[in-house]
């Protein structure tokens, strides 16, 4: 009977034969001194059970035992299969022998990762401290050498000894494979392929071709836990060996030189010679630094030493498994290339799970804290909704909390904007601030406080937040970084005080670097010029006054709010600033320094104006100048909201009658003040209405005017923005002069030269314009669009308004400028037609048109509101108009027809005409009795 065993030599030169059986106890026989013939080293025949770790070639394996105590790396040894030979794999200095890769692949598929039993028949000198043996091996009871011979992937060596039965059996297996044409005995020969053992010469070109694509590969070497050398099996049959660093993670360092100590948990991954899939993502170039020349950082060398990529095992992403097992840490360096695919999010989740388990690297990690999204910070809500009231810089804004109305100044988390004080960054700093202003100012946002940055040196404590806006919950910091208008702050490892969207910010920054946007463009952008302050002095401001008057409403931005009714206005197109004082009102003053005291409600007025108008896109009109160079005028938000009226309505300003009465919208101011008084708002909190009844009766401004009858003709009717119309006053020198002027004007334009080249009309210009009837008339430009090449004009002699193309507009010849425009703006006294929301609005317009348009009428001026005339229109053909005490007029007729109501708010002078009011009320009663117009279905009168 043959029993496996081992012959050993002890200190006393005794030979010990150890027999291995299936029982725990071995049978030991001791031989006394005798002479044996041995090979170069003492003969040791022992049966070992280990795991196959790697395959060097078709006849050589790397074996690994079980892990040592306390997780120490298992020892390895190299086993060369005895008596057989296989083709040798190539290296950087030699080519693969024919069939070498196929032979190794057969053995790799057969053995890697499986438990193997081997017997060492002969030992060789160690290589790099790894023992080397010749011997035999079995996997699952099958002899490995026999399997190789049977499939034609190895050959029996020529032996210098007499063949044994085993040698004969192996030779027979070889002959069978040869006869069957298996393996390397295939008559067609090996597949031709190129094997590149060094990194691609043109690494950038290789990256461009294969970036993001999945390539089948075999792990040839595990250099460190997150650094692999892999054989890429290219689609064209070529093999390319490359070094890959796992993206997004870093493992502890492994000792590579004598005397070095491996970091804890720096054990080798179980990937060696496993089939994987690889995605190449990038080269390890240095990260782009803002404002440097060549913003993409140091260029990658032509032949790089590593690629950064993702390695996918059949069990999943290798990096994620390493992190989940606590064998690697997540790093932020590669977040930019992983964030868009969700890779960083999965790595963070794996890291969180490892910390909770306190696995390996995280054994001493602090206990996880409660979610930051809950609770408060500094006694205030951590998450809230609010409105952006101010943009301080490219990374700081102020938000007014919706519930508490408290303003909080916030820093965008993990974001650093360009500095305005640095000349190289100033242009981008201004662009970043303007980007935030356009996106956020006045908009509703959702705020999540991520952390509070403590006070440090000259920097105050600041709440750092993630700010989202819009229906898509867009992170404005991510947009800012993606446009290259901010950079992302690099945090220390395990620093949890960072943006909740940090990985997305890194992804946005990577995109900005790749596309060389903004601060990563490498361009030297000159610092923007300081805007010209045209309100610096009265003399300078006076040079612009007439130009502003001609332009009408001018688009601008409120740069700063100095007081409730005083603003610093910025004109982006001209790079100018000016001071604008709201006309017609007076707002309480605020203290300019610590020694002064604000007037009552001065602070409230200032805060209201700041939150409502600071940094908003507005329009303004100029009427006059003050002595310090400030322009007096009006400010409009969203084209319709008058800032002066809004302040008065909130009780934060009062009407200044002397300046207000000359404004076309004075009645809106008085109405707003009356509303604020009635509601006892702010300034009017202690208002006593009875104390002012007497003074109101004594006011002369709203008293009756002396009767002034004029012959007029209604030349134009305007139904939008409060019903008004235009009249020409007949039987005057102006009308006679107009007739002569129009004759000369017509003759002039028959042969007048075309507009000069490059002529572009501007708002406020007097011009000649062709009306829809084909004739030319004098006109005034309200506004012009060089893009559309058309202008809105008012024909000053008739009141019509129209949009005319530039080709039908010419400069007005000086000879036709002296005569003032003959159209006068007017409205009906005492009454107003039903509004556009009424079903009878169209009927009202039609009725007025039929009674008035194109007809010669008599008009009495009952009130003057600046240039606007309040007229009582009388039909001279109506017999009742002959009696002045009958008060017969078209105004009363419209009331009688049920298409108008008495305007108590818009006609403050109405109480000065009691007899006429009596007549008007009688007309309303008749309309109700006759079910006329809006009273068709009963006594439903508009609420005045």
Q: For the segment 428-480, what is each residue's pLDDT rounded down to a tens digit?
A: 999 999 999 999 999 999 999 998 888 877 778 889 999 999 888 899 999 99
**Cβ partners under 8 Å of residue 12, min gap 6:** none
pLDDT at 242 over 90: yes
Query: Residue 475: beta bridge partners?
Result: 468
Across the range 632-648, mean pLDDT stands at 93
Nearest-angstrom CA–CA distance, 584 and 582: 7
Q: Is the distance from CB of 296 to CB of 260 less than 8 angstroms? A: no
- Cα-based angle 561, 562, 567 (whole degrees, multiple of 5): 55
Q: How far apart are the first and last CA of the chain?
A: 123
Backbone phi, then psi, for 449, in 5-degree steps?
Answer: -75, 115
Least confident segment among 124-138, 229-243, 683-697? 683-697
pLDDT at 488 over 60: yes
Q: For the segment 539-575, what is each residue's pLDDT rounded down to a tens digit?
A: 999 999 999 988 899 999 999 999 999 999 999 999 9
- Cα-based angle 316, 351, 231 (whole degrees, multiple of 5): 35
pLDDT of residue 436: 94
Estimate to the nearest angstrom the gap between the alpha carbon of 49 and the chain centroid.
60
pLDDT of residue 397: 93
Taking alpha carbons only, the member of 572, 584, 576 closest to residue 629 is 576
pLDDT of residue 399: 93
Query: Residue 33's pLDDT band (boundaries 50, 70, 90)?
Result: very low
**Cβ partners under 8 Å of residue 829, min gap 6:** 860, 862, 863, 870, 871, 872, 891, 907
Q: What is the dihedral of CA 872, 876, 881, 887, to 10 degrees?
A: 0
The tokens describing 845, both together, are 């317009």
Comparing 867 with 278, the larger pLDDT belongs to 278
Q: Is the distance from CB of 170 to CB of 129 less than 8 angstroms? A: no
Taking alpha carbons only, the member of 934, 857, 938, 933 closest to residue 890 is 857
pLDDT of residue 706: 77
Across the range 304-322, mean pLDDT stands at 91
Taking alpha carbons only, the member of 545, 615, 631 closest to residue 582 is 631
pLDDT at 349 over 50: yes
Taking alpha carbons only, the member of 156, 180, 153, 184 closest to residue 170 is 156
pLDDT at 594 over 50: yes
| DSSP class of 205 | H
pLDDT at 704 over 60: yes
- Full 3-state SS string of 3-71: CCEEEEECCCCCEEEEECCCCCCCEEEEECCCCCCCCCCCCCCCEEEEEEEEEEECCEEEEECCCCHHH
Comparing 253 with 221, the larger pLDDT belongs to 221
Comparing 622 with 273, the larger pLDDT belongs to 622
**Cβ partners under 8 Å of residue 150, min gap 6:** 173, 176, 177, 182
Nearest-angstrom CA–CA distance, 249 and 228: 13
Q: Is the distance from CB of 111 to CB of 86 less than 8 angstroms? A: no
pLDDT of residue 574: 92
Q: For the segment 734-747, what is each residue's pLDDT rounded down to a tens digit?
A: 777 788 888 888 88
The tokens describing 499, both together, are 């943006």
Q: Give the 3-state secondary structure of residue 310.
A: strand
Backbone phi, then psi, for 521, in 5-degree steps?
Answer: -75, -20
Q: Give the 3-state secondary structure of residue 707.
A: coil
The DSSP element (H or E) to which 176 belongs, if any, is helix 165-180
Across the range 354-369, mean pLDDT stands at 77
Across the range 261-268, mean pLDDT stands at 44
Across the range 156-163, mean pLDDT stands at 85
Q: What is the pTM of this model?
A: 0.58
Q: For the segment 742-762, what is each residue's pLDDT rounded down to a tens digit?
A: 888 888 887 767 777 778 888
Most confident of 69-73, 165-169, 222-226, 617-621: 617-621
Backbone phi, then psi, for 85, in 5-degree steps?
Answer: -135, 145
Mean pLDDT value across the chain: 82
Least confident segment among 71-85, 413-427, 431-445? 71-85
CA Rg value for the chain: 47
Q: Is the distance from CB of 673 to CB of 681 less than 8 angstroms? A: no
Nearest-angstrom CA–CA distance, 299 and 500: 32
Write the CA distances from 274 to 111, 113, 320, integer angstroms. Answer: 11, 9, 17
Q: For the segment 682-694, what is each residue's pLDDT rounded down to a tens digit?
A: 999 888 766 554 4
Nearest-angstrom CA–CA distance, 944 and 935: 16
Least confident segment among 246-260, 282-296, 610-624? 282-296
């Amino acid at each position: 009977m043959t029993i496996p065993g081992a012959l050993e030599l002890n200190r006393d030169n005794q030979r010990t034969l150890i027999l291995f059986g299936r029982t725990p106890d071995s049978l030991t026989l001791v031989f006394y001194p005798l002479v044996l013939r041995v090979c170069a080293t003492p003969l040791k025949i022992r049966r070992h059970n280990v795991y196959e770790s790697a395959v060097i070639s078709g006849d050589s394996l790397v074996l690994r035992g079980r892990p040592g105590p306390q997780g120490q790396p298992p020892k390895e040894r190299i086993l060369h299969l005895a008596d057989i030979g296989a083709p040798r794999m190539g290296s950087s200095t030699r080519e693969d022998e024919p069939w070498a890769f196929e032979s190794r692949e057969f053995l790799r598929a057969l053995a890697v990762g499986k438990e193997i039993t081997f017997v060492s028949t002969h030992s060789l000198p160690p290589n790099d401290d790894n023992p080397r043996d010749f011997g035999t091996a079995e996997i699952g009871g099958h002899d490995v050498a026999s399997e190789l011979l049977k499939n034609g992937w190895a050959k029996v060596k020529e032996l210098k000894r007499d063949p044994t039965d085993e040698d004969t059996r192996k030779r027979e297996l070889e002959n069978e494979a040869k006869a069957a044409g298996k393996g390397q005995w295939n008559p067609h020969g090996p597949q031709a392929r190129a094997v590149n053992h060094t990194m691609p010469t043109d690494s950038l070109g290789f990256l461009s071709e294969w970036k993001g694509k999945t390539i089948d590969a075999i792990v040839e070497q595990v250099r460190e836990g997150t650094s692999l050398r892999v054989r890429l099996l290219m689609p064209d049959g070529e093999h390319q060996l490359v070094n890959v660093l796992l993206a997004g993670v870093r493992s502890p360092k492994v000792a590579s030189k004598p005397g070095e100590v491996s970091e804890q948990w720096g054990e080798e991954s179980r990937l060696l010679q496993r089939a994987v899939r690889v995605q190449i993502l990038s080269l390890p170039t240095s990260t782009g630094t803002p404002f440097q020349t060549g913003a993409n950082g140091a260029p990658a060398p032509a032949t790089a030493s590593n690629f950064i990529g993702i390695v996918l095992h059949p069990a999943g992403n290798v990096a994620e498994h390493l992190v989940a097992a606590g064998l690697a840490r997540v790093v932020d360096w590669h977040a930019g290339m992983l964030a868009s695919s969700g890779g960083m999010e999965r790595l963070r989740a794996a890291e969180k799970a490892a910390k909770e388990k306190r696995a390996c690297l995280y054994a001493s990690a602090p206990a996880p804290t409660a979610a930051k999204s809950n609770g408060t910070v500094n006694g205030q809500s951590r998450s809230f909704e609010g409105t952006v009231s101010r943009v301080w810089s490219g990374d700081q804004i102020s938000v007014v909390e919706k519930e508490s109305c408290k303003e909080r100044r916030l820093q965008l988390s993990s974001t650093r904007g360009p500095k305005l004080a640095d000349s190289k960054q100033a242009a981008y700093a201004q662009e970043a601030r303007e980007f935030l202003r356009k996106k956020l100012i006045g908009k509703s946002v959702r705020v999540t406080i991520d952390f509070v940055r403590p006070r440090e040196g000259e920097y105050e404590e600041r709440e750092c937040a993630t700010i989202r806006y819009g229906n898509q919950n867009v992170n404005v910091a991510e947009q800012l970084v993606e446009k290259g208008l901010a950079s992302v702050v690099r945090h220390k490892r395990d620093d949890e005080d960072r943006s909740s969207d940090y990985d997305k910010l890194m992804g946005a920054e990577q995109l900005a670097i790749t596309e060389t946007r903004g601060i990563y463009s490498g361009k030297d952008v000159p610092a923007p010029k300081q805007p010209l302050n045209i309100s610096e002095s009265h003399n300078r401001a006076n040079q612009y006054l007439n130009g502003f008057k001609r332009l009408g409403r001018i688009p601008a931005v409120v740069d700063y709010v100095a007081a409730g009714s005083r603003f610093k206005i910025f004109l982006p197109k001209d790079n100018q600033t000016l001071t604008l004082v709201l006309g017609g009102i007076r707002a309480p003053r605020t203290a300019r320094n610590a020694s002064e005291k604000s007037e009552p409600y001065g602070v409230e007025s200032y805060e209201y104006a700041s939150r409502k108008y600071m940094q908003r896109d507005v329009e303004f009109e100029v009427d006059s100048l003050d002595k310090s160079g400030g322009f007096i005028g009006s400010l409009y938000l969203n084209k319709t909201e008058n800032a002066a009226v809004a302040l008065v309505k909130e009780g934060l300003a009062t009407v200044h009658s002397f300046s207000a009465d000359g404004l076309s919208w004075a009645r809106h101011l008085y109405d707003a003040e009356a509303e604020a008084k009635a509601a006892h708002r702010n300034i009017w909190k202690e208002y006593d209405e009875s104390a002012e009844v007497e003074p109101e009766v004594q006011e002369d401004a709203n008293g009756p005017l002396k009767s002034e009858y004029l012959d007029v003709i209604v030349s134009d009717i305007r139904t939008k923005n409060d019903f008004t119309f235009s009249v020409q006053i007949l039987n005057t020198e102006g009308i006679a002069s107009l007739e002569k002027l129009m004759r000369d004007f017509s003759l002039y334009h028959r042969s007048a030269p075309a507009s000069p080249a490059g002529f572009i009309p501007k708002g406020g210009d007097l011009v000649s314009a062709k009306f829809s009837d084909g004739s030319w008339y004098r006109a005034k430009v309200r506004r012009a669009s060089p893009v559309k090449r058309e202008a809105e004009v008012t024909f000053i002699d008739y009141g019509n308004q129209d949009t005319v193309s530039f080709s039908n507009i010419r400069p007005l010849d000086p000879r036709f400028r002296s005569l003032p425009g003959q159209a006068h703006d007017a409205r009906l006294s005492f009454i107003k037609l039903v509004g556009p929301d009424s079903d009878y609005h169209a009927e009202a317009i039609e009725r007025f048109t039929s009674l008035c348009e194109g007809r010669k009428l008599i008009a009495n001026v009952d009130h003057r509101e600046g240039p606007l005339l309040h007229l009582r229109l009388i039909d001279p053909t109506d017999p009742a108009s002959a009696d002045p005490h009958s008060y017969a007029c078209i105004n009363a007729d419209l009331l009688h027809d049920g298409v108008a109501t008495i305007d108590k708010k818009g006609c403050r002078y109405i109480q000065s005409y009691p007899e006429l009011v009596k007549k008007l009320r009688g007309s309303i009663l008749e309309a109700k009795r006759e079910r006329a117009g809006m009273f068709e279905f009963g006594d439903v009168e508009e609420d005045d």
